[in-house]
Amino acid sequence: METSAKGGQRVRDAFLNSARQVLLQIQMGMIDPANTPGVRVSGPESGKVATVYERGLHLMRNPVYNKAEAFTEAEREELGLIGLLPPKILNIEVQVQRCVQQLRTKDTDIGRYIYLEGVHNRNETLYFRLLLDNITDLMPIVYTPSVGQACKDFDRIFRGSRGIYFNLSEKGNFKQVVWNSNVRDADIIVVTDGSRILGLGDLGTNGMGIPIGKLSLYVACAGINPGRTVPVTIDVGTNNPDLLNDDMYLGERHKRIDGEEYYAVVDEFVDAVRSRWPNVLIQFEDFTNDHAFPLLERYRNQVLCFNDDIQGTGAVALAGVLTAMRAKNEALADQRIVFFGAGSAAVGVADCIVAAMVHQGLTVEEARRRFWLVDSRGLVTSKRDGELQEHKVRFCRDDEPLNSLLEVVQVVKPTMLLGLSGQYGSFTEDIIKEMHAHCPAPVIFALSNPTPKAEATPEQLYTWTDGEAWVATGSPFKPVSYNGKMYTPGQGNNMYIFPGVGLAAIVGKFKTIPDSMFYLAAKTLSEKVTEEDLASGLLYPQIKRIRELSYAIAVACVKEALDCGIAQISRPDDLEQLVRDAMWQPQYSRVELDASVLAYSGRASAPRKAGSSKQTLAVSSSESKSFSFSDIERGPSILIMYDGPACPVVIDCGSSRTRAGLAVTGRHIRPTVEIPSSEGLRCAVHIDAYCILQRTNVPPRNCWSDLDGFLDAGHPPSFGSDAVSLVLKGEPIRLTYPVNEGVYADMENVGNLLEYVYQECLKVSAATIIGMSYGGNSWTIGGCGGLNIIYICQLDSVKRTVPELCAFDSNWVWFQIDPRDQPLLLTEPIYNPASTRERATEMLFEDLGIPSLNISVKEVAALVGTGWQDGIVVDAGEAMTSVVPISHGCVVTSGIRKLYLGGADLDVQFAERLARRADHIRLTSTRDRLMLRRWKESVCYCRPGWHDTDDDFDDNGYGAAAEAQPITLPDGTAVDMADDKWKVPESLFHPHLLGIEGSGIGEMVVESIEDCPIDDKLKLYKKIMLAGGTSQFPGFADRLRSEVEHSVKYSRIATSGRTQNRNPQVHVEKAHRHPEWAAWIGGSAFASLKDSFEDRWLSREEYEECGPDAINSKVQISFMPHQQQ
């Protein structure tokens, strides 16, 4: 076993941790000890295992997993590739050599670009390995200058779609658009509206080549994982007449929109991507000047974003300026700087240089007096006619107007001349010689790109200054020989800056990216220029060192972010290693087929009898599970309702289930209604037909979006239990879930779901008391004053219970709840975006007409519903798991942790393991997925600890109970899941087993508590509350307690100013006997005290006066009155 730790105890701990992981992988069947002598895990060929759902040609057409000739013999046999590939097996190094040889046969740069994009679309790993190994030669092909021509010809060289297009015609539907992407977790988005592509102007959707190229540089230069990147184009039209009249143009054919209509589109785009990827970094790219600055100011303090044209260009130019000052041994404050071009890039560069001067002791005003900006009308001065654009005002001078660059150079006698005009040849011989006459070693940057837009060539600049100029360009140029000396012009390309800054923001989980980060990046880059570089005229390091440079910038920026408090991670013991580990390497993974593709036959089975003692679970494909009163938990239950006509309704919308009911208090309470959070859409063909066509038997969670083309628009959608009932009856229904990861992803269908809850489910009376008692085999349902409340347990269908309830009382009275009469308390997760909350508020007041609204945080409600105000809530839900610490009834935001792993992921894992044991089964339809979930919940349990072996561990009886529950398939086959019963939930504690980065639940709890800035952390360990349906596995609480105790074993816990070395007392319990109800019950308790918290409710009058954003100040992150907080 290899370790990198130093020191005796650290080596021992590192060895033990590594050994534990290997032992766990052996137990999980991920490592075969017989083929693992010494268990050595190192080297480029020992990468992660990639599990796939495709085989044969389908797999080879997937660029993420395709390895072409590099598939091994074992992989070819398992994946159905025998005969589809030549017999020779090549490694990635040989494949790269072949690509280089093929590239040399291309005569033009655009031909090379097209070839490389072909590799990109066929084999991503090979593409990035080729790019990384040949970055100096290929960077000009992948990005500037070749990408400019690629964008001009984008519609003609188009081979296949990559990224997301947010089109104006889809406005109002952007949140559905973003969910069509197959990128599950995005780290970075590069977005353009195509309005100012390089120096080429308005190219509309043809500008998509820029985000694609930028993201390729992120991957090659900084090791950003390509599977977590998303190129985006916002199509709001084009003002380019050539494109509007071109039949080949792929974008919308109308003039660009502008003004508030334009910003509304961008706002919806930002809201949409953050609703799915709330922590994603957004890089704005190639927007026109009149939008670039406003957009940056609009979002820079709201979302994680930056503008590369403004900030990235400024930083890379500043780095060259700082290097030139070092080479000339001059002070930056002594320079006279002329800019030719006064757009967003030029002003961004000027701002960065001003910031550097301020760092060196000048005031902002003193620094700005050293700048002269020249635009198309001459010197930017207050004395010329016309109104200035806002971004130019801060550099406006009071000098007399000068109409040409030559006049400005003659008057100012600059020491620096920076060109960002996009005007080819604008640095003429007269101008450069005039500058050189007054400055022996002028600093001249011709930064416009691509090459045909450069203000001058390096050869011209060296010739006109007798080789004395310090030259940098925006596009790459070859070295120049002048008077027997070889000069190498530096390329001031943004790729030196933005990959490192982006990597830092992702690793450090930045809240924002302040301008100081770009100054630090420029300073770090400048310091990496060697004396050897300077001797050849280089103002920037050689591009072949780009990964080293990006790494250095990322480390410096994360360190600064930790110091100034914008990083949302704990300070690591080894920051350099943290950044190094985050950098993706283009190496092939071993590819495994996750399940067989053989179909099964046979449908007959017998339904389980109610109250049967036999534990075998069987679900009929033709008959849905019926309700029986024997399923209701036995015992008396007295419900005390909030009296009066304004009794609040409480609704908890989760990713999988929605719970609703009137606000109640009491000992035995439960939601009146619990239904699936689903919409059912009828398909024109049966879902099984699609799955057969795709040759898959265990589809991934997101594959159902492919069924959109099969939907039958002639049938209205069904919701909740009605939709599930149709599925269980075998109807061709596709289920969609408008709530994703706890966040409202599809607001329209959320509204439809809530309307269904009110109209079809909440049919109850306004009585105050109901009693239910159980005697023998019958229920007695009592009431008050002849008015009764229906008390419904968890059912497959609410409607199905009506005849059974009426059978007990022929005088049963139904009342429909009108949303306009009852206040509504809605729960939401702690990480719900404000924009989503505001849209929900607008929908509830405008569409449903509610009189007042309160939104409460699920995790706080789950804890306070137990009567406690201090503790930590572990909410294991359908789509994700969150850990939220609460002290004195308030959320401690610094301790919040999230893991994008939940019950749905375990469903897929369970299906995969079942398919391995029953290779004849094909699990494809929505009905099958529901069956799988029930099987999983019936047989799976949690093992007490990772360290126990099969021979000696004590599972507290959970394993024995599960052993009696084999699974009966629809064809009658009984399947014993054996050790898979504990391996499925094991990934909650060790998510790396599914290839998911991050800590397990136990480690998350300890990290959360230790990051809480409170004195007494021990109290949080004593009250760890479980919420969410995925926490119901037998043994889950005991396993979590064991994991927490192990993770905190060597922690030092601060308590009231003292440090304790002893282990804390760890106590884990369910927030309710049904943890999935915890949030609803807590919300119900709070809503029943509405009068005590009246200021927390948003009334209709206040909504109409202040708008939907008024709800943000009302969000219930605490269950303490204001005066007690």
Which residues have a catalytic role annotated? 143, 214
The answer to whether the CB of 629 falls within 8 A of the CB of 795 is no
DSSP states of 312-376 = IHHHHHHHHHHHHHHHHT--GGG--EEEE--SHHHHHHHHHHHHHHHHTT--HHHHHTTEEEEET
Cα distances from 766 to residues 288, 645, 788, 1092, in angstroms, run 59, 7, 8, 22
Q: Which amino acid is at 311?
A: Q
Token pair belonging to 156: 């003609």
* Encoded tokens for 437: 């006459």
Q: DSSP characters for 1011-1069?
A: T---S--HHHHT-EEEESGGGGSTTHHHHHHHHHHHHTTT--EEETTEEE-SPPP--EE
**Nearest partner of 269 among 253, 255, 280, judged by Cα:** 280
For residue 399, give every residue at least 6 positions away whose Cβ sits within 8 Å of its Cβ, in sequence order, or none: 372, 379, 381, 383
Tokens of 986: 């094991």
> What is the number of alpha carbons within 13 Å of residue 1059 lying toward its C-beta?
4
Tokens 């974003």 belong to 305
In Å, the largest CA–CA distance within the chain is: 108
Main-chain dihedrals φ then ψ at residue 235, nearest 5 degrees: -100, 105
CA distance linking residue 1101 with residue 1037, whole number of Å: 46
| Residue of 234, 233, 201, 195 lying closest to 214 (CA atoms) | 233
Tokens describing residue 840: 């929900």
Euclidean distance between CA atoms 658 and 646, whole angstroms: 22
The residue behind tokens 């609460």 is 886
Residue among 359, 373, 348 at smallest CA distance from 325: 359
Q: Which among 501, 520, 519 is positioned nearest to 355, based on CA atoms?
A: 519
- Give the CA-trace dihedral at 1087, 1092, 1098, 1102, to 10 degrees: 150
Q: 450 by DSSP, 3-state: which?
A: coil
Output the six-digit token pair for 492.
């001031």
Which of 389, 328, 334, 400 has the alpha carbon at shortest distance from 361? Answer: 334
Tokens of 567: 């990083």
Q: Tokens 């939104």, residue?
A: 855
Three-state SS for 217? Answer: helix
- Give which of 1086, 1047, 1090 is closest to 1066, Cα–Cα: 1047
Decide: 432 and 464 in contact? Cβ < 8 Å.
Answer: yes
329 alpha carbon, distance to own chain's centre: 46
Q: Is 649 helix (H, G, I), strand (E, B) or coil?
A: strand
**Cβ distance 458 to 477 under 8 Å?**
yes
